[in-house]
Copies of this chain bind each other. A is one copy, B any other.
Amino acid sequence: MSPREVIEKALAEGRTALTAPEGRQICEAYGIATPGEGLAGSADEAVDISRKIGMPVVLKIVSPDILHKTDAGGVLVGLKTAEEVREGYTTILANARAHDPAARIDGVQVQQLVGGGHEVIVGAVTDPTFGKIVAFGLGGVLVEVLKDVTFRLAPVSGDDALTMLDDIQAAEVLRGARGAEPADRAALAGLIERVGALVDDHPEIVEIDLNPVFASASGAVAADVRILVGEAPAPAERLPREQILAQMTRIFKPRAVAVIGASAEQGKIGNSVMRNLINGGYQGRIFPINPKAADIMGLPAYKSIADVPYDVDVAVFAIPAAFVAPALEEAGKKGVAGAIMIPSGFAETGNADGQREIVEIARRHGVRMLGPNIYGYYYTPENLCATFCTPYDVKGSVALTSQSGGIGMAILGFSRTTKMGVSAIVGVGNKADVDEDDLLTFFEQDDNTSAVAMHLEDLKDGRGFVEAARRVVRRKPVIVLKAGRTAMGARAAGSHTGALAGDDKVYDDILRQAGVVRAPGLNDMLEYARALPLLPAPQGENVVIITGAGGSGVLLSDACVDAGLTLMEIPPDLDEAFRAYIPPFGAAGNPIDITGGEPPSTYENTVRLGLSDARIHALVLGYWHTIVTPPMVFAELIARVVAEERAKGNVKPVVASLAGDTEVEEASEYLFEHGVIAYPYTTEKPVAVLGAKYRWARAAGLLR
């Protein structure tokens, strides 16, 4: 029987768990090694099989009605002689009958006792967000108590499977730490890859648990196989990429916008939206829709969008939830591409039916709906402020999205105060229709956007997101703040692997697999968004710290390790070259401590050397406020040297930490404006930002 036939048979019999022989059969079909074994229907047969596969053996009851074999006294381990096997068979059968007299008993599985090497767990589960995911960890305490496990989307390529072996904390163990035998990595990765293929090919496999797998120098053998089956989940509905792009382009670059519920009355959302569209400088047509007004803010108003005598791309809704459905129906008939659904009062207040209704209307008309329950959206290249907030005016190249209005407001305030250059700010709210995948599809090819930052609490279609993110990441960084990090996923655990798949670890591993830069908190997301588009991409891993304050050097080194950066081992000739510029009691090496009280020339010489030597790929500067080199002197000097070297083709990311009196604030701002990511009073932030840029550069394959 093929795996599919095995599964179908089990499902036809109303079973959700496959028997051990069934599991083994499926494994064999996928080249997943299992111990030699056979199914014995009698004590004699058990002895015969034992002799054939070699003793010692393990005996296990085979019954579809006994799931927890050990509890039923249905497992005996390490039987070494024919006599022991014979007695064991009888004992197990008696135990099973005592445990459940009604249980159907298919026989006793006789299995070669394997061992040696490392006990690992390989499994797969069906995640509600990401679908089939594969898990790997070391057996026992490490996985079960320390949760030292790693996940990937299925299917898993051989290369990805190899990265899983290194992604657990105890990775060294498999490499032979403490004198242990190193595992055959290729064999183990191969087994992981096969499990991924198996669940990818068979969506009816709800969970699979190979526990333990004995991974030794000579291979990987799954000593126990447990497979749960069920109905295959419905595949996510996805529109073709070209269609999404066409819709999103009409939404972000509309020729005409209608405001449904436009109002002349200050304080009303329909008034704020009108004012923002007009004052924001939007150059397309604006059509206020209001059954009771002839004109609003100097523009002719229409009773219904149906009355507008032009094509309309976007309808912004600024009316109460109760009136949305008929208005959306009309907008749909009018042929709008996007419905910007500002109103609240839908799923977030328990009105799931109302939300379903408008989704259905939108879908019927091919309208893409943003929201409901949002602040609207900005797209600065078109001077488009379709929101009830205030216009935003610092154009730039980062696109931000948020699932929450509060976070959207924080994005707006932060952008304004830090002069962060923004291409778009988009509220996605309830995500009844348009979600992050759609937005990524637009931003991917949007030349006005060079980085994307997204606040999200969940993903409607995790795989769709990963696919879109992977494409975007090849060209520009995608930063994600995933809220609800620490909420433990309350999920029915049918297996070890299922129990391990706590929400956040799955998100964390899979977002990383997608190449996304995950921000640990809100402020980090905002700072990454602000800084990443300004920093050039590094060309290699060699980071060098140049500092005027030894104390900052130590903290900057700490921060580099925290950020996963590599402090370059300075080769002797380069060390010599740096030493020529710094006082004899300064420290070369890395950090390069130029010592306090040095004149601007010392900063200039060392930074220039750092930028021009091709072996160095990124600089972290530590500035110490002195009267010899005041803050603005430092800032102007560094900005000039960086620009000069850039003009010569020495394009490297440079970040700086400024320690000093309050003048360092102005100096930091000046540096930021000149493409050097600088912060006062912190050694952590500039390095964290550089670390984020590196994470992206690695994911984009720029450092290979």
Could you tell me which A residues sit within 8 Å of B by CB distance? 138, 140-142, 144-146, 148, 169-170, 172-173, 177-178, 267, 344, 348-350, 389-390, 402-407, 409-410, 412-414, 416-417, 455, 457, 481, 483-489, 491-493, 495-497, 520-524, 526, 545, 547-562, 567, 583-585, 587, 589, 591, 593, 596-597, 622, 624-625, 627, 659-665, 680-685
Partner of A557, one of B169, B348, B487: B487
16 contacts between A and B (CB under 8 A): A348-B585, A404-B554, A405-B549, A406-B596, A406-B624, A409-B624, A409-B660, A412-B660, A416-B662, A487-B561, A489-B554, A492-B556, A495-B587, A497-B550, A521-B558, A522-B681
CB neighbours (8 Å) of A412 from chain B are 660-661
**Most chain-B Cβ atoms within 10 A of its Cβ — which of A553, A558, A624?**
A558
Other A-B contacts than A416-B661, A521-B683, 16 sampled, CB-CB below 8 A, are: A404-B549, A404-B550, A405-B549, A406-B622, A407-B549, A413-B680, A414-B680, A486-B557, A486-B561, A489-B558, A492-B554, A492-B557, A493-B554, A495-B589, A521-B559, A522-B684
- Whether A681 contacts B555 by the Cβ 8 Å rule is no
Q: How far is the CA of A89 from the CA of B148 in the complex (A)?
A: 43
Q: How far is the CB of A481 from chain B (nearest CB, A)?
A: 8
Partner of A551, one of B404, B558, B685: B404
- Whether B483 contacts A661 by the Cβ 8 Å rule is no
Q: How far is the CA of A390 from the CA of B625 in the complex (A)?
A: 12
Q: How far is the CB of A239 from chain B (nearest CB, A)?
A: 27
Given contacts A390-B661, A495-B587, A551-B483, contact A141 B144 (CB under 8 A): no
CB neighbours (8 Å) of A169 from chain B are 145-146
- CB-based nearest B residue for A587: B495
Given contacts A173-B141, A558-B489, A681-B526, contact A662 B551 (CB under 8 A): no
- Whether A389 contacts B483 by the Cβ 8 Å rule is no
CB neighbours (8 Å) of A593 from chain B are 495-496
- Whether A489 contacts B406 by the Cβ 8 Å rule is no
Q: How far is the CA of A176 from the CA of B440 in the complex (A)?
A: 47
Partner of A485, one of B173, B406, B558: B558
Q: How far is the CA of A101 from the CA of B138 in the complex (A)?
A: 43
- Whether A402 contacts B483 by the Cβ 8 Å rule is no
- Whether B416 contacts A521 by the Cβ 8 Å rule is no
Q: How far is the CB of A148 from chain B (nearest CB, A)?
A: 8
Given contacts A413-B661, A555-B489, A558-B488, contact A681 B405 (CB under 8 A): no
Q: How far is the CA of A497 from the CA of B141 in the complex (A)?
A: 21
Partner of A406, one of B148, B522, B659: B659
Q: How far is the CB of A521 from chain B (nearest CB, A)?
A: 4
Q: How far is the CA of A303 from the CA of B491 in the complex (A)?
A: 73
CB neighbours (8 Å) of A622 from chain B are 406
Q: How far is the CA of A687 from the CA of B389 in the complex (A)?
A: 27
CB neighbours (8 Å) of A554 from chain B are 404, 457, 483-484, 487, 489, 492-493, 496
Oligomeric state, in copies: 2
- Whether A662 contacts B624 by the Cβ 8 Å rule is no
CB neighbours (8 Å) of A492 from chain B are 545, 550, 553-554, 556-557, 591
- Whether B551 contacts A489 by the Cβ 8 Å rule is no
CB neighbours (8 Å) of A481 from chain B are 555
Q: How far is the CA of A549 from the CA of B413 in the complex (A)?
A: 15
- CB-based nearest B residue for A483: B554
- Whether B146 contacts A146 by the Cβ 8 Å rule is yes
Q: How far is the CA of A352 from the CA of B492 in the complex (A)?
A: 58
- Whether B483 contacts A558 by the Cβ 8 Å rule is yes
Q: How far is the CA of A658 from the CA of B487 in the complex (A)?
A: 22
- Whether A523 contacts B684 by the Cβ 8 Å rule is yes
Q: How far is the CA of A483 from the CA of B556 in the complex (A)?
A: 9
- Whether A596 contacts B405 by the Cβ 8 Å rule is yes
- Whether A413 contacts B681 by the Cβ 8 Å rule is yes
- Whether A561 contacts B410 by the Cβ 8 Å rule is no
Q: How far is the CA of A173 from the CA of B552 in the complex (A)?
A: 41
Partner of A350, one of B344, B404, B493, B585: B585
- Whether A488 contacts B523 by the Cβ 8 Å rule is no
CB neighbours (8 Å) of A553 from chain B are 492, 496
CB neighbours (8 Å) of A172 from chain B are 145
Q: How far is the CB of A498 from chain B (nearest CB, A)?
A: 10
- CB-based nearest B residue for A390: B661
CB neighbours (8 Å) of A591 from chain B are 492, 495
